[in-house]
């Protein structure tokens, strides 16, 4: 049987040459997820409310609210969890509320702060940076923390840039920037605004001697113009490639986006069809780029006579987002923390046995009722890894159920990262 190929070296050279652009695009534009931790939520508070004791206070208030309504066990039952599942998660959630009740905190200088005049906002921007630095030094800051400043539309552009400058510059002068520093650019409508943000943070890096790319930022998708531009294209899909490596996440803005499409206030929701369409476009736009996604918020707050209905709604919406591949969302009130963690932990605990079994079969090359391909194995490993990172799953469980340690799990979830690290 002949084994000599028909294509000669010149044919292969032509093909390789014609695909150089594709190879470069895939390598630079679609590097994949970097395997680092993604927070499961972002808490938004007016910037001047933050102090070194803020996170612990929110955790204590969240636990107290749950206790006043029958405790976490009662809340788990309210969300529809059986006793076995509740037993797996309530202790973990109580520990989470005591040790890390907020994973990502955004000090808000936009809608949550308003227009209080330049002198007041200048002082608040400096004070916020000082409080963040103090919290990091004291060990009371959440893993991720930063600010949302005013948008780059003409009426607020200078004010937003000034607040960004004062906050970052104060932090830089105080010493090393927090490892989990996050900057949020809201109400983006055009690619040009994102390019302007890239320029601004690039200049701040130069001025303060920071490494190139140190200041990454999130883009809030709150306008229909970012989903479908005037040329009939999708500007959001261009963002990862016009400022490569600079954008860390896209966050969906429930209420601004819905209002822009004339959705009546009563029907503005994370689960409205216009929200689902926008979020699906966002998923397509950043697939493979390493840019993370976050769902928005519900403004139905667990308070007063409607507290149980609000908890049920919040828990259901958290679960809905997770099932649709949105592993992060916004929380606006401390009473939303218990349902955030209960619903999230339940998602990972319920899926753990099947995911671990399939992953173990894949690792040990055991034939089972499901034949998983490498792509599915990556998804299974990523699911378990996210559960570990948020506290729903223990590393000892991974070792017991899958037969691998955390580094091996990470390598399975992100093989491209593991390959590049080993070079």
Report d(CA 294, CA 220) in Å as an integer: 9
Closest-CA residue to 141 (of 62, 63, 217, 51):
51
Q: Which stretch of DSSP H or E encloses residue 386?
A: helix 374-390
**Among 246, 244, 291, CA closest to 25:** 244
Helices (H), 107-156: 118-138
Strands of 104-108's sheet in order across: 292-294, 247-252, 217-221, 181-185, 144-148, 104-108, 41-46, 329-331
Contact predicate 347/327, CB 8 Å:
no
Q: Which two tokens stand for residue 5?
A: 């190929």
**Angle CA(49)–CA(292)–CA(146) in degrees, nearest 5?**
20
Rounded Cα–Cα distance for residues 332 and 44 (Å): 6
Which of 295, 345, 325, 323 shows the shortest CA–CA distance to 97? 345
DSSP H/E element including 388? helix 374-390
Spell out the per-residue pLDDT of the chain, length 423, in tens. Answer: 667 889 999 999 999 999 999 999 999 999 999 989 999 999 999 999 999 999 999 999 999 999 999 999 999 999 999 999 999 999 999 999 999 999 999 999 999 999 999 999 999 999 999 999 999 999 999 999 999 999 999 999 999 999 999 999 999 999 889 999 999 999 999 999 999 999 999 999 999 999 999 999 999 999 999 999 999 999 999 999 999 999 999 999 999 999 999 999 999 999 999 999 999 999 999 999 999 999 999 999 999 999 999 999 999 999 999 999 999 999 999 999 999 999 999 999 999 999 999 999 998 887 765 667 889 999 999 999 999 999 999 999 999 999 999 999 999 999 876 555 544
| CATH placement of domain 41-351 | 3.20.20.60
Instruction: Give the pTM.
Output: 0.94
Give Cα 22 to chain centroid, integer Å: 29
**Which residues 6+ apart lie within 8 Å of 34 measured at CB?**
290, 414, 417
In the chain, domain spans: 41-351, 352-422
143-176 in b/e form (b: 16+ CB < 10 A) is ebbbbbbbbbeeebeebbbbbbbbbbbbbbeeee
Q: For residue 339, give both structure tokens.
A: 């349902």
Which residues make Cβ contacts (< 8 Å) with residue 72, sequence separation at least 6? 66, 86, 90, 93, 94, 338, 342
């Amino acid at each position: 049987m002949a084994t000599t190929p028909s294509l000669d070296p010149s044919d292969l050279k032509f093909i390789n040459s014609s695909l150089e652009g594709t190879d470069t695009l895939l390598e630079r534009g679609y590097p994949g997820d970097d395997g680092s931790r993604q927070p499961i939520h972002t808490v938004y508070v007016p910037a001047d409310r933050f102090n070194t004791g803020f996170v612990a206070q929110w955790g204590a208030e969240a636990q107290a609210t749950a206790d006043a309504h029958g405790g976490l066990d009662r809340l788990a039952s309210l969300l529809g969890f059986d006793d076995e599942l509740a037993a797996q998660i309530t202790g973990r959630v109580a520990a989470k509320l005591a040790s890390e009740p907020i994973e990502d905190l955004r000090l808000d200088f936009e809608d949550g702060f308003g227009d209080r005049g330049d002198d007041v906002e200048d002082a608040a921007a400096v004070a916020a940076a000082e409080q963040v630095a103090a919290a990091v030094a004291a060990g009371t800051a959440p893993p991720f923390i930063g600010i949302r400043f005013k948008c780059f539309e003409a009426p607020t552009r200078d004010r937003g840039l000034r607040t960004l400058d004062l906050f970052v510059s104060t932090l830089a002068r105080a010493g090393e920037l927090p490892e989990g520093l996050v900057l949020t650019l809201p109400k983006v409508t055009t690619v040009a605004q994102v390019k302007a943000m890239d320029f601004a943070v690039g200049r701040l890096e130069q001025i303060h001697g920071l490494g190139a790319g140190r200041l990454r930022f999130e883009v809030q998708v709150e306008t229909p113009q970012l989903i479908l531009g005037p040329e009939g294209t999708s500007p959001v899909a261009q963002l990862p490639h016009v400022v490569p490596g600079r954008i860390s996440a896209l966050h969906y803005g429930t209420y601004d986006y819905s209002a822009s499409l004339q959705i009546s206030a009563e029907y503005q929701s994370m689960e409205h069809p216009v929200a689902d369409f926008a979020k699906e476009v966002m998923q397509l736009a950043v697939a493979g780029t390493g840019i993370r996604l976050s769902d928005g918020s519900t403004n139905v707050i667990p308070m007063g006579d409607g507290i149980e209905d609000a908890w049920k709604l919040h828990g259901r919406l958290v679960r809905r987002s997770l099932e649709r591949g949105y592993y992060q969302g916004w929380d606006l009130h401390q009473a939303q923390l218990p349902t955030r963690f209960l619903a999230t932990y339940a998602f990972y605990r319920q899926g753990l046995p099947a995911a671990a079994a399939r992953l173990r079969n894949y690792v040990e090359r055991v034939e089972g009722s499901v034949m998983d391909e490498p792509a599915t194995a990556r998804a299974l490993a990523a699911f378990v890894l996210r559960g570990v990172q948020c506290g729903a799953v223990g590393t000892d469980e991974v070792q017991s159920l899958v037969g691998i340690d955390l580094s091996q799990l990470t390598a399975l979830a992100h093989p491209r990262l593991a390959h590049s690290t080993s070079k």
